[in-house]
Chain A
Amino acid sequence: MARMKFLCDAERCIECNACVTACKNEHEVPWGVNRRRVVTIQDGKPGERSISVACMHCSDAPCTAVCPVDCFYQTEQGVVLHSKDLCIGCGYCFYACPFGAPQYPQAGNYGSRGKMDKCTFCAGGPEEDMSSLEFQKYGRNRLAEGKLPICAEMCSTKALLAGDGDQVSNIFRERIVARGFGSGAWGWGTAYSIKG
C-alpha cells in the first residue's frame, strides 16, 4: 500500500520557485494564495539553504484534530484532504499546522477570510474524482490520472520528491550515500514521526 509523502532535499534546492509556479499553473491558484512556498534560511550568508514547504500530509495531522467542523480526512494513501463545503474559515488549522500550510483567500478576522485552501498532493477533494466541481474547488486531481504532484515532477534540480514514502526515502538515501554526509529529510520527524 502506497503512503504518499513529500521530501525536500535542502542540499539540492536552489530556490528557483518552479514548485510554486507549477502549482499555480496546475490548479489556477489565485494571487495571494500559496499552497507551496520556498523558505530560505541564512539568506545571503554562508550556509544559505532553501526548503520548499507545503502541507506535508502528516500521519497524525494536527489540523484534523483541531478542526471544529471535521472537514479533514485522510485518503488511503495518507493524503490529507478537506471539504470546502464544510470549512468555516475559522483558522484553527492554520495555527495548529507546524508547516504553515493552510491559506485563506482574504485577509481578515475569524470567519471572514473565506474557505481554507491548501496543498492537496494534487489529489483533489471529496467530490467525484476529476469532476469539474472537484477542479473548481481543489484544482486538478493528478493522482487519479496516475501522476504525482506537479511541484515535485517539475522540480529543477529534483530536490523536491513526492510519491510513495519508501521509494522517496530510498532515492534520498542513495544521494546521502553518494555525498558522504546527510542531514536527514527535512520535516519528516514532525510530519511522519520518522527521522528520514
Chain B
Amino acid sequence: MLRKKTSGVARGPQSSSFIGKAAETVVDRRAFLRGSGLAIGGIATAAALVGSNVTPSQAAVSGAKVEIKKSVCTHCSVGCTVVAEVQNGVWTGQEPGWDSPINLGAHCAKGASVRETASGERRLKYPMKLVGGKWVRMSWDDAINEIGDQMMDIRKTSGPDSVYWLGSAKHSNEQAYLFRKFYAYWGTNNGDHQARICHSTTVAGVANTWGYGAMTNSYNDMHNSKAIFIIGGNPAEAHPVSLMHVLKAKEQNNAPVIVCDPRFTRTAAHADEYVRFRPGSDVALIWGIMWHIFENKWEDKEFIRQRVYGMEDVGVPGSQLKRVAKIMANNRPGTFVWCMGGTQHTNGNNNTRAYCALQLALGNMGTAGGGANIFRGHCNVQGATDFCVLSHSLPGYYGLSAGAWKHWARVWGEDIDWLKGRFDSIKGKDGKSKSLMNMKGIPVSRWIDGVLEDKENIDQPDNLRAMVFWGHAPNSQTRMKEMKTAMEKLDLMVVIDPYPTVSAVHSDRTDGVYLLPATTQFETYGSATASNRSLQWREKIIEPSFDSLPDHTIIYKFAKKFGFADRMFRKIKVTNDEPLVEDVTREFNSGMWTIGYTGQSPERIKAHMANQHVFDRTTLQAVGGELDGEYYGLPWPCWGTPEMGHPGTPLLYDTSKPVAEGGLCFRARFGVEHEGNNLLAEGSYPVGSEIKDGYPEFTMGMLKKLGWDGDLTADERAAIEKVAGDKTNWKVDLSGGIQRVAIKHGCAPFGNAKARVKVWTFPDPIPLHREPLYTSRRDLVADYPTYSDRKLYRLPTLYKSIQDKDYSVEYPMILTSGRLVEYEGGGDETRSNPWLAELQQDMFVEMNPFDANGKNIRNGDMVWVKTPEGAQIKVMAMVTERVAKGVAFLPFHFGGHLEGVDQRSKYPEGSDPYVLGESANTAFTYGYDSVTLMQESKCSLCTIERV
C-alpha cells in the first residue's frame, strides 16, 4: 500500500482523485518550482510538531490581554487594512480588517503574512560597516558621525551634488516629505525614488493630458464599470485584492474583462477577451482600436467637443481589435487599467498618453465606472510621488522654479537666500553661472551613469561619490553589471533599510559600506496614500525591533549632524531625536495646495481610520454619523484647510457633482489657447458652477474681476497680499482663501479646461509608435525609428546609436519581465519571509515549448539567459505556453546570485534572505524614456542556452 515518497512534500497520492490527476498531468508553476520542502535556502529543519518551536505568539497565546492595532499593508498600493493583535508588546496575530471599505478583510499572500515582516529573524539588526570585507557592528552615534564626516568632506571637495539621496516608496507621507525637504536643505536635487522606474511615464503622460498624474477613480469604483480594459498589468499577481473589485463588476454587471498582454497572465485567465501582442507595441495596438472606434463613429462626439483638445490630430493608421473596440463602445462606462507593462519603455510616455486618448475618445473620463485606473506598485508610492521624492520637483509638483522655491521657503519659514547658498552652480552655455537649485537632478535610473560617465559630460561639478540607498532595492534597476562597477567606484555607500538588500552584497567592496537598520512601517506610525489617492493612518503596532529606528528619526539625526536640524524642524516638535509625526503632517498640510493635501489633518485621517465601517463600499462615501458625506481617506484633492471640511475627491474630473462635494473638471494647466484654438472647456462645468463655461486657474486678480474677493476674510486677504498681491494664485495662497472662495461659487481652483491629446512640449506631441532600442523587428526600424541621442537630466542619453546596431540575429528572443504574487519589488523583504519564500524557491525564465524544444531545453533544466550588453544569468527553465513563441519572461524579485555565483556568504550573518536567485535586471539592458528617463525593462533581446 505504501509507495516510496521521493520528496518531503506531501502530494495527493490517489491518481483517481482530482488532485492526484492534477499533480500528475499538469505542471503548475508552484509544483514545478517547489523543491524538496525541507532544508532549502539555509532554513533549519522544520520542527517535528507544528508550533513546537517556541515563538513569540506561542509565548503570549494564553492569558495576556489582546490589544488591537490598525495599520496598512506595506506591499502594493491597494491599501489593505492590517489588523494586528498585540499581547505584551508582541505582535501575536493578524485578523481580517472587515471594516475597511478597500479590502473588506481580504489580503493576498503578502498581506496575510506581514506579521513576519515586522517580527522576522532575517532583519538587519544593528548598524554595521564593512571593514576589510567583514561586517562589524557599531553604534548609531558612531555610524552617523563617520558617515556624516565623510559626506561633508565630499561636499567640500566635490559639492553637494556628489552625494545622492535615494529615497523610498515605502516611506510614510511624513517621512517622504521630510526626506524631500532634507535633501533640499543638504543642497541638491540629486534625490529620487522608485516611482521613477515604475509610473513616472504615467505621471508625466497623464498630468500632461488632463492635469493630475494619478489614478482617476478608485478600486471600488470599478463596481460601476460596464467594461474593464487591462493592458500591461497583471493585477491578479501584483494587486490581488483589486481583483475582488474587478470580479464583482464582471459577475454582477456582466462586464467584459479585456486583458492585453504579451503574456497569458493569471489575470488573463479570468478575462473574457485576451489580446496577445508584441512587447513595446502598445501605441500601435491602441491606435488600431481607435481606428475602429472612429471608423464606426463610436466616439463620444459631445464629450470630445466640450472637453478634449487635439483629438483630430490623432492620425490613425488603418477581427480582434474591432471586437475589442466594439466591446468598449457598447459597454460604457468602461475602466482602463495599466501598469508597468505600459510604462517601462523608451516611449513609455507615449503609451500612457495613447491610453488616455482612448478613454477620452470613448467619453469614459470623469465618470463613475470609467477613468484611467493606474494601479501604483508600492504601498506609498503615490504619496512619495506627491511629495516629490524626485529629482525634478519640490513637494506637490511645484517644480524647481524660483517661484516654487520661494513658496516652500515661505512654508518652511526659511530664509530663501540661505537655501540658495546651500546649492552649487555650473557655467551655462552662455557662460553665465546657473544655480543647480533650479536644474533637474540625476534620476535614480541613471545614478550609475552619474558615477561612471566622464565628468566633463555631466551638468554638475563632479561625479557622484556617495550613494545613500534609503529603502531601495538596487535589483529593481537595469544594467546591474555596470551598477556593480559603479558601486565599486564610489567613495561611500550607505544602506538604510530594514533588510541588508542586494546593495550589501552586489559589489566586491571590502570597505566604505554602512548598513543602518530602519524600522518597517509597522514599528512606527503616520499616513500613507493608496493608489486611489485616499490617505490612511497607520498606528504603531510594536516598538522598533532590534536597534532599528524609524526613517524620520534617522533623517533628524543626519540633519543634526549636518547642522541644519534647528532650521529644518523649526515647526516640528522633536523628542529624543524623533520628530512628532502629526506636526509633520500639519506642516505639509500648510503647503501642498496644488494637489489638495491640505485638508487632511491628522485628526481627520485618524477619524476615518477609526470609523471605517460607515463608508459605502462602492462610492467610498460616509453615510450618516459625524463623517457624513466625506469620502474614505479624503482622496486628494481635499481642498482648502481642514476647517473648510472638504470631503475629498473620489473621482477626478467628475462634473456631475459640485466641487464642494468632490466634483471636478479638467485642469487648466497648459494655458488658455494653443495655435489660436481655445484650450478651455466649452459648455462643460461641474454642477453648481457659477461660471457656466471654461475658465483659467484662479488668482486674486481673477477673484477681484469676478467681484468675489469680498468673500475673503480679513486674515485671508492679508495673507494673500503678503505673497504677491493680485498675482497670488490658488497654489501659493497659504491661507487657502482663494480656494475657499472659488469653491464657494462652485468653481475648481485650478480652472476648467480641455484635456489634451496633443502635448506640444513633449518629443512626440501625438504619441507615436517607436521600435524598442533592442528590437526583434528590424524591418520596422526604418518606419518607426527611436529618438536621436540627447542630453536629459544632466546626462547624455543614447537612443539611435544603440538601435542602429542589429542584435536580433545573435539574440533572437524578446525578453520581458514582471511580478509574482508572493514577492514584491527587489524582494529582499519578501524573500526573507519564510511563509512566502517557501512558495517560490527558484528564479526561473518562462519560455514557449516551441523555443525550448528547438534548443533541447526541458522543463526544469538550468539555462543561461544572455543579453546583448554581455550579461548572462543562470536560471531554471519553465516551459509554458504562457508566453508566445520567441518571447521569454523573467520575474524581477530575485537577487543574491550574480552570473551564476551565489553571494550568500557576503550578507551579514543571520540577515540573508531565505531564497536567493539571479536578478532579472542583471540581464536587462540600456534604454530610457524620452521624458522621464524611466528604464526600459519590458522589452529587450536575449538568447537562451542550456547550461
Contact = CB atoms under 8 A, between A and B. Distances in A.
Interface of A: 11-12, 14-22, 24-34, 38-46, 48-49, 53, 84, 91-92, 94-95, 97-100, 102-107, 109-110, 114-115, 117, 130-132, 135-140, 147, 150, 153-158, 175, 178-180, 186-187, 190
Nearest to B59: A132
B108 A18 contact: yes
B702 to A, nearest CB: 48
Interface string B95-124: 110000000011111111101100000000
7 contacts: A16-B236, A21-B112, A32-B838, A46-B274, A91-B2, A117-B49, A136-B58
Contacts, number: 249
B839 interface: yes
Interface in B35-51: 36-38, 40, 43, 45-51
B880 A44 contact: yes
Contacts of A12: 247
A26 B50 CA distance: 11
B397 to A, nearest CB: 33
Interface stretch (B14-22, B160-168, B416-424, B474-482): B14-22
The 10 residue pairs across chains A and B that have the minimum distance between CB atoms: A100-B12, A107-B8, A44-B882, A32-B37, A30-B46, A17-B109, A22-B112, A16-B240, A48-B269, A40-B28
A32 B106 contact: no
B10 A14 contact: no
B50 A27 contact: yes
A24 B109 CA distance: 10
A19 B113 CA distance: 10
A178 B250 CA distance: 10
B661 interface: no
Contacts of B49: 84, 105, 114-115, 117, 136-137
Interface of B: 1-2, 4-5, 7-14, 17-20, 22-23, 26-31, 36-38, 40, 43, 45-53, 55, 57-58, 61-62, 93-96, 105-113, 115-116, 236-237, 240-241, 243-244, 247, 251-252, 254, 264, 266-267, 269-270, 274, 821-822, 834-836, 838-839, 846, 880-882
B876 to A, nearest CB: 15
Contacts of B27: 43
A156 B244 contact: yes
A171 B535 CA distance: 33
Contacts of B106: 18, 154-158
Interface of A is mostly: loop
Nearest to A45: B881
Contacts of A157: 106, 240-241, 243-244, 247
Contacts of A140: 61, 93
B243 A53 contact: no
Contacts of B48: 105-106, 114-115
Contacts of B111: 18, 154
Given A32-B46, A49-B269, A178 B12 contact: no
B interface SS class: loop
Contacts of B2: 91, 95, 109-110
B236 A14 contact: yes
Nearest to A17: B109
Nearest to B111: A18
A132 B61 contact: yes
Contacts of A25: 93-94, 112-113, 115-116, 835
A107 B7 contact: yes
A138 B61 CA distance: 13
Contacts of B20: 100
A38 to B, nearest CB: 7
Nearest to B264: A44
A153 B96 contact: yes
A180 B46 CA distance: 46
A16 B237 contact: yes
A46 B259 CA distance: 13
Given A20-B835, A156-B106, 13 more contacts: A24-B835, A34-B37, A39-B22, A39-B31, A44-B880, A48-B264, A98-B19, A107-B5, A110-B2, A130-B62, A137-B52, A157-B247, A158-B106
A136 B62 CA distance: 11
Given A21-B836, A30-B46, A43 B880 contact: yes
Nearest to B880: A44
A30 B4 CA distance: 23
B58 A135 contact: yes
B881 A16 contact: no
A139 B240 contact: no
B30 A40 contact: yes
B86 to A, nearest CB: 15
B836 to A, nearest CB: 6
A36 B365 CA distance: 43
Contacts of B96: 150, 153-154
A39 B110 CA distance: 18
Nearest to A176: B251
Nearest to B10: A103
Contacts of B19: 39, 53, 98-100
Contacts of B58: 28, 132, 135-136
Given A32-B46, A136-B58, A154-B107, A107 B36 contact: yes
A139 B11 CA distance: 22
A32 B18 CA distance: 22
A18 B1 contact: no
Given A156-B244, A157-B240, A33 B113 contact: no
A95 to B, nearest CB: 5
Contacts of A186: 18
B885 to A, nearest CB: 14
B61 A43 contact: no
Contact of B243 (A21, A26, A42, A156): A156
B269 A94 contact: no
A104 B10 contact: yes
A69 to B, nearest CB: 16
A95 B269 contact: no
Contacts of B43: 31
Given A45-B881, A131-B62, A154-B107, A28 B51 contact: yes
A92 B147 CA distance: 62
A81 B389 CA distance: 53
A191 to B, nearest CB: 11
Given A25-B94, A136-B58, A32 B38 contact: yes
A18 B240 contact: yes
B269 A158 contact: no
A38 B4 CA distance: 24
Contacts of A109: 2, 4
Contacts of A106: 8, 38, 45-46, 48
Contacts of B240: 14, 16, 18, 156-157
Contacts of A136: 49-52, 58
Contacts of A132: 58, 61-62
Contacts of B241: 156-157
A139 B51 contact: yes
A44 B881 contact: yes
Contact of B26 (A41, A137, A138): A41
Nearest to B19: A100
A26 to B, nearest CB: 7
Nearest to A100: B12
B264 A30 contact: no
Given A46-B274, A98-B14, A100-B17, A21 B109 contact: yes
Nearest to B114: A25
A29 B51 CA distance: 6
A22 B50 contact: no
Contacts of B839: 17, 20-21
B109 A95 contact: no
A84 B52 CA distance: 12
Contact of B244 (A20, A103, A147, A158): A158
A35 to B, nearest CB: 8
Nearest to A131: B62
A105 B12 contact: no
A153 B10 contact: no
